[in-house]
Amino acid sequence: MAELHHRWLGRALRLQLAVATAGFTAFCALAVMGMRFDFGLQLAVLLAGIVLVGFPHGAFDHLVARPVLLPRLGPLWWLPFLLGYLGLAGLVWLGWMIAPATTLALFLVGSVLHFGLGDTEDGLLPGRVPRLLGIVTYGALPILLPIALHPAEAAPVLAAIAGWDPAVMQRVLSSAVWLLPAWAVAFGWIISVAWRERQSVSERIATAAGFVLLPPVLAFGLYFGLGHSVRHVLRLGAWRNEAQPKVAARWVATVMLPAGAVCAAGLVGLAWFDDDTTTGLLAPAFRIIAALTLPHMIVTSWLEPAPLDSGPTPGERPTAARG
């Protein structure tokens, strides 16, 4: 892997990549040996990822926005931030109400960009690969593969989100298989370049294998819980304090634990109102995630790592942000 930005972030990301590789490899090995994964297990993995790191990793957005907006808007910076954040989320939620199919398509495209941006930072993309190609290729991995390779299993969830008939949704998703050859060529080339540049490719290969061999809900749960969200949390910790990982970890925990508790309570509430797991839990949960993803993507673009030469002291507020 290429040299990374922070004193401890590089080690932490290498550990994260190793854990994600091990997780995907273990489940893929079980799948190859013929094990069938109960939907309850798939759901448990997905919801654990959402509760522990998925939803909480977005709870830092106001902290990232503060050093950007405070110098420009003054002490009341939080008011336009809150109104803008909720306004964008509300706009997406309105889209679910009046044009769910279009909103779903936009959500999938936005997810490709969001995941791709996260998976190409901090030396995770070879230097010779054009950034846009890497973003689209890596970002399409957790979206295109489950749709194109497992349309029968992905269709009920996406149909519930979009308000479509599952059979119609399955036929639409099946057409995505024509995009796979172009994606496979791009992915294979990026992996070969990374290999020649002596970068680690095991996590990318294991993740791709997971989305090929595993049910979509399980594969996405592993990716979201062990990959995307964890990487973002580690970068946030380095942004907060690049020199002292224990201080960064305590700061991260104080934000994530309450957010995780709120998320767990919300999921219990969703399940309480509808016994059907797909329509009562997964569909509204993904709609909420989609509504929050748009403002989260904007705020995430403001995040900049701290400079290499010094990190903030334990009591110092982070100030590095893109403006």
Residue 122 above 90 pLDDT? no
- The number of residues making up the chain comes to 323
What does the alpha-carbon distance between residue 180 and residue 101 come to, in Å, rounded to a whole number?
22
pLDDT at 2: 39
Q: Mean pLDDT over residues 219-246, rounded?
A: 89
- List pLDDT tens digits, range 282-316: 778 888 888 888 899 888 887 754 333 333 333 34
CA 50 from centre of chain: 10
What does the alpha-carbon distance between residue 196 and residue 198 come to, in Å, rounded to a whole number?
5
- List pLDDT tens digits, range 30-62: 999 999 999 889 989 998 998 889 888 888 898
The amino acid at 8: W
What does the alpha-carbon distance between residue 126 and residue 42 come to, in Å, rounded to a whole number?
33
pLDDT at 315: 37
- Identify which has the larger pLDDT, 307 or 204: 204
Q: Where are the alpha helices (DSSP H) in 175-317?
A: 180-196, 202-213, 216-222, 229-240, 245-273, 277, 283-300
Domain spans in the chain, listed from the N-terminal domain onward? 9-300
